[in-house]
Amino acid sequence: MSVTYREILAPAGDRERLQSALDFGADAVYLGGTMFGMRAGAPNFNTESLCDAVKLAHERNKKVYLTVNTLPRNPELALLPQFISEAVNAGVDALIIADLGVLQTVRKLAPDMTVHMSTQTGIVNYATANALYQMGARRVVLARELSLDEIAEIRKNIPDDLEIEVFVHGAMCVSFSGRCLLSAYFTDRDANRGACAQPCRWKYYLTEEKRPHLPMEIQEHPEGTYILNARDMCMIDHIDKLAEAGVTSFKIEGRAKSAYYVSVVTNAYRMAMDYYLQNPKEYHLPEWIHDEVFKVSHRRYCTGFFFGHPNACQYYENSGYISQCDVVGIIDRCENGMAFATQRNRFFSGDTVEILAPRQKPVSLRLDEIYNADGERIETVNHAMMEFSFPCEYSFPKNSLIRLPVQNPVPEDKNII
């Protein structure tokens, strides 16, 4: 594959999120099996559902990458050959690997399998990238601590057919490339085996050994401080700079996040990439695409280390999420001037909603008439998963999203630092 190829890579924590990623423009998805994945808390895919996922993606000419990116302990190694065999039989397009022993085992048992080296490997220079290439890797997922200049230097000093992948959106980790011991110490849940309890999001006080009843503020905030809590990554404004640095794959974090998140964020980066590819030399991101990433649940945004050492990538006030919209329904079909949908959250007749279809600007509609499945006019759509319909002059494709602005959202500056 040429390094000029630009891939939007979306997370798929389960079948619903896989469908969302495919519908809203992902070129490839990454997902986990029942073992060896860094998101043990996500539903993930067993042997049968993995085969179904690959079939669904391949029918749409999309790729599936399977995570094998934990750092397995000795007893787990005996389970690895069967896991690799099932991945091969399912037809996955690549394995994402962090551990060199796992890499060696895959090269031995599945020599034709494409290998991507995970960000957990901690790749920060071209010497490591080249060493991994010699060991059989065909893509490196670089450490999140690198700047654009460092990425460009790596690109210049590695083979043309060695691809570069970077995280461009989603949760950040306070530890080096995700390798963290806090969770294991505090909760006996090993972050390096997919079971992170996210202690970096907790509120911390300082206490003196002989005065445990007198917690002291670490900073001058009466509510304490979240000294380890990172902002979320967002590079939606800088697709062009990432491409110019030599990035092949633009990776969205979020296998444990909702289908709505996957849909909206994938759609935003898909549209941004499409605009870039149409005219790379005069790229300008439309404001509505920039605004889309603020319509999902997120922490305050930053650009990480891409532009050098960050001045404000930590957020000390709290670890809560911000949200401007809630998904209230999913379009099932449109016919004869009516849209038929299924409810996800309560809303009322007279509400003004937005409908987001793949690769389209959202459309605002006031829903003055709503009908239940029996064709009776109703004032509220308040039953989980109930079917409803409304008059609509547009024809939206299946799985388009109906969302409602949140009442009194938390004020937020939309400048991404």
Taking 80 as the threshold, does the pLDDT of residue 2 lie above it? no
Taking 60 as the threshold, does the pLDDT of residue 223 lie above it? no
The full set of domains in the chain, from first to last, is 7-173+232-288 (3.20.20.70), 325-405 (2.40.30.10)
Please state at what angle helix 100-109 crosses helix 80-90, rounded to 10 degrees.
60
Strand partners, 140: 117, 164
Taking 90 as the threshold, does the pLDDT of residue 396 lie above it? yes
Is 203 in a helix, a strand, or coil?
coil
User: Cα separations (Å) of 396 from 338, 364, 399?
Assistant: 10, 13, 9
pLDDT of residue 353: 97
Give the strands of the sheet with 377-378, arranged side by side: 363-366, 352-356, 401-405, 325-335, 338-343, 387-391, 370-372, 377-378
* pLDDT tens per residue, range 164-173: 999 999 988 7
Global pTM?
A: 0.89
Residue 40, both tokens: 């043990």
* pLDDT tens per residue, range 53-71: 999 999 999 999 999 999 8
Check if the beta carbon of residue 304 is closer than 8 Å to that of residue 313: yes
**Tokens 């308040």, residue located:** 382
Considering only 73-77, 204-208, 260-264, which range has the smallest mean pLDDT? 204-208
Q: What burial letters (b/e) apply to 106-132, b meaning 16+ CB within 10 Å?
A: bbeebeebbbbbbbbbbbbebebbbeb
